[in-house]
Amino acid sequence: MKYDVADVSLVAEGKRRILWADNDMPVLASIRKRFAKTRPLKGKNVAACLHITAETANLARTLKAGGANVALCASNPLSTQDDVAASLVKDFKIACFAVCGENRSTYYKHIYAALDNKPVITFDDGADLVNELHGRRAKDAHRIIASMEETTTGVIRLRALANQGKLKFPVIAVNDAASKHLFDNRYGTGQSTVDGIIRATDFLMAGKRVVAAGYGWCGRGFAMRARGMGAIVIITEVDPIKAIEASMDGFAVMPMAQAARIGDLFVTLTGDKNVIRGEHFRVMKDRAVVANSGHFNVEIDIPALKKLSKKIRRNVRNHVDEYILKNNKRIHLLAEGRLINLAAAEGHPASVMDMSFATQALEAEYILKYKSKLAVAVHDVPMEIEQKVCNLKLKSMGIGIDKLTPEQVKYLAAFGEGT
């Protein structure tokens, strides 16, 4: 088996972390148990470009239990947990090509290594595999039955491709499933972004002005958690509906130009580019902290920050670069503008990834079953899968809910029965 990981001697710690995460992933574990019996993915080659974390390892184990030959590569050069990668290879015999801190050329070398597995199903977090399958590796696209997309930015890229009429195979917008984004993006990114910032800086949230750019699922999760820790949270938005929601949820809402003057900590969670720019850095307070939790590191205009700086002190603390501006103010940029929750913390808690990855695993089974009916388009996850994942999760949480009575079913379906 071919692989490329940083250090196989980290295997024991990696296994401990994978099994620990598995304790909090009961839905995925129950699917793995069933897959081991029914083998719905038997003999299918799969490539997955995901954050190489303990939770992803448990997804890979589940796909393997279902009979798939899995090859993994990283969806971000800084998010790989090297111990997990070692255990995947040594303990679980799953091919993994990922090294934390890998440079751009190694990152792509690893993507190609995963594609060399000749996948019929791919999993992406940010659409990098699909992008290659429409570009330099277009020759491999004919094999793909369908591809799954885990994150908002990936779905946006894929919809753009579909709208241009260029999409070559069906893709599934796993991110858009309620069983994914309502929990993963909101509670997962919310908590782990706070975690990453605190681990990187030892920042005290209480009493600080924290600016969250974007009030989508990730933004509102982060804003909620920062407020819970006593921060005075300010939201910036471009969407008037989200801005009203943020305001009525009790947050201050203002343009970035105004927020830049008063914020102590800035976090971008938009999926957009250049949300914090030169004009904003110029008016920030001394020692303002700037981080990104959106998918790409383009949310912060780092070239503009470099231009404004007379000196850059790298790694003044792990994951912190200090930019000393020509006006003598210092800006602390975290994790080179890459996803702070994965670079400086451990990404989303396993308990929330349980639902996202259970949705992924069931969807893989589904597309093999219904492949002849899948048009070349961006598809939603079917409601039956969402319901199944949520029912299994509720069961694992020991929570029961009510069922509609036959009378209620009739009442809700009938028009005009109001008495």
The conformational region for residue 255 under phi > 0 = left, psi -120 to 50 = alpha, else beta, is beta
* 44/338 with CB nearer ligand NAD: 338
Q: How far is the CB of 248 from ligand NAD (least distance, A)?
A: 15
Q: How far is the CB of 128 from ligand NAD (least distance, A)?
A: 12
d(CA 9, CA 3): 14
Residues 6 or more apart from 216 whose CB is under 8 A from it? 152, 185, 242, 269, 270, 271
Q: How far is the CB of 74 from ligand NAD (least distance, A)?
A: 14
Q: How far is the CB of 275 from ligand NAD (least distance, A)?
A: 4
Q: How far is the CB of 343 from ligand NAD (least distance, A)?
A: 10
* 10/342 with CB nearer ligand NAD: 342
Query: Which of 10, 172, 165 is CA-nearest to residue 81?
Result: 10
Q: How far is the CB of 360 from ligand NAD (least distance, A)?
A: 14
Q: Give, in order, the Cα–Cα distances in Å from 92 to each of 62, 70, 185.
A: 11, 11, 28
What residues pair up with 48 in beta bridges, in sequence order?
72, 123
Q: How far is the CB of 274 from ligand NAD (least distance, A)?
A: 8
Q: Give, in order, the Cα–Cα distances in Å from 153 to each of 240, 311, 325.
A: 21, 33, 31
Query: Which of 158, 151, 145, 36 is CA-nearest to residue 367?
Result: 145
Is residue 151 within 8 A of residue 129, CB to CB? The reply is no
Angle at 130 between CA 370 and CA 216, to 5 degrees: 90
* 123/215 with CB nearer ligand NAD: 215
Can you say whether the dihedral through the CA atoms of 67, 73, 78, 82 is positive or negative?
positive
* 87/292 with CB nearer ligand NAD: 292
Q: How far is the CB of 252 from ligand NAD (least distance, A)?
A: 14
* 62/270 with CB nearer ligand NAD: 270
Take residue 175 and report the two structure tokens written for it: 């991110």
* 77/216 with CB nearer ligand NAD: 216
* 87/356 with CB nearer ligand NAD: 356
Nearest residue to the partner ligand NAD, using Cβ:
216
d(CA 81, CA 239): 36
* 62/341 with CB nearer ligand NAD: 341
Query: Which of 271, 264, 258, 255 is CA-nearest to residue 233?
Result: 264
What residues pair up with 333 in beta bridges, in sequence order?
290, 321
Is residue 68 within 8 A of residue 46, CB to CB? The reply is yes
What residues make contact with ligand NAD under the rule CB under 6 A? 151-153, 181, 185, 189, 213-219, 236-239, 242, 269-272, 275, 293-295, 339, 341-342, 347
Q: How far is the CB of 38 from ligand NAD (least distance, A)?
A: 31
d(CA 124, CA 161): 15
SS3 content of the chain, % helix, strand, coil (to 5): 50, 20, 35
* 239/286 with CB nearer ligand NAD: 239
